[in-house]
Amino acid sequence: MKSLACTLFLTVAHVLAQEKTEAQDLCEQWNALYEKMQYGSVDRKTSGPLLRSLAKEIRDKIAVPQDSVFYFPIENHGLPDVGGTNGSGFISRQYNFLHGNRHRGHPAHDIFIHDADQDNLDDNTKQPAYVVAMTDGIVIGMKTNWTSGDTLRGGNYLMVYNPNLQRYYYYAHNHTILVKLGDVVRAGTRIATVGRTGRNASEKRSPTHLHLMVLQITDEKGKPYNYYDELVKSKKVNSPS
């Protein structure tokens, strides 16, 4: 009897490990294709539908909690740190997801930290400013090795897919990435630190900030979603004492 129980346990463990490997592989495929699209080295007409198809497969393989709570995406920060006035920094006109790094518009909100000396540390705490997941989701895209001279605007970015809301959450200009492809992240947990990576964000003229774009997956292009009202009602995350 003990032998049978052990065999069943090992079989279940093997199946779960295999499913995790398959899900990880799908995330790596999505990430590789998205990176090519960012740099314009893949046909846009075929990459859009394929990205959406991969996202659907990922949704079927990985369970994500259904939590309707939104968290403000930087620890110890809040609405006054969002650029513009009442969400005026969001400009979706002429944006096309499939254009990758060459897109137009600014379909996002920039959230600033106090970093006068531009050392990637919050001047108030002398510590990194932690980016937290605004919602639950799956890490399906990332870049961790941006260097000066790289033309990519987003620098070290994270793409988190929320299959329940059918949205992509794009966190850009990070200094360090704290998660890996395939991770299921809970809303309010640390995923990165705010930084200055990216073609424009690394320039002296640019204050240190998080660039957060949300895309509603209505078709292969992805439609910019103005989530300002969700920032307004979001829960503030304080650093652990």
pTM higher than 0.75:
yes
Q: What is the DSSP letter of 234?
A: P
Rounded to an integer, the average pLDDT of 213-230 is: 90
Q: Domain 1-241 classified CATH 3.90.1300.10? A: no
Q: How confident is the model at residue 80 (pLDDT cuts 50, 70, 90)?
A: very high
Per-domain residue ranges of the chain? 1-241
User: Between vectors from CA 87 to CA 84 and to CA 90, what angle results, nearest 5°?
Assistant: 90
Helix, strand or coil for residue 181?
Answer: coil
Q: Distance between CA 90 and CA 105 in Å, rounded? A: 8
CA distances from residue 213 to 15, 46, 63, 216 in whole angstroms, order as listed: 36, 23, 23, 10
What is the b/e burial string over 188-199, where b = at least 16 CB atoms within 10 angstroms of the residue's CB? bebbbbbbbbbb
Helix, strand or coil for residue 106?
Answer: strand
Half-sphere exposure of 221 (CA within 13 A, CB side): 8
| Among 40, 23, 20, 25, CA closest to 153 | 40
Helix, strand or coil for residue 50?
Answer: helix
Summarised one tens digit per residue, pLDDT across range 166-206 is 999 999 999 999 999 999 999 999 999 999 999 999 999 99
Q: What is the DSSP letter of 216?
A: E
Summarised one tens digit per residue, pLDDT across range 5-54 is 555 444 544 444 455 688 899 999 999 999 999 988 888 888 889 999 99
pLDDT at residue 94 greater than cutoff 90: no
Rounded to an integer, the average pLDDT of 223-230 is: 96
> In which residue are the tokens 């909690």 written?
65
Average predicted confidence (pLDDT) for the chain: 90
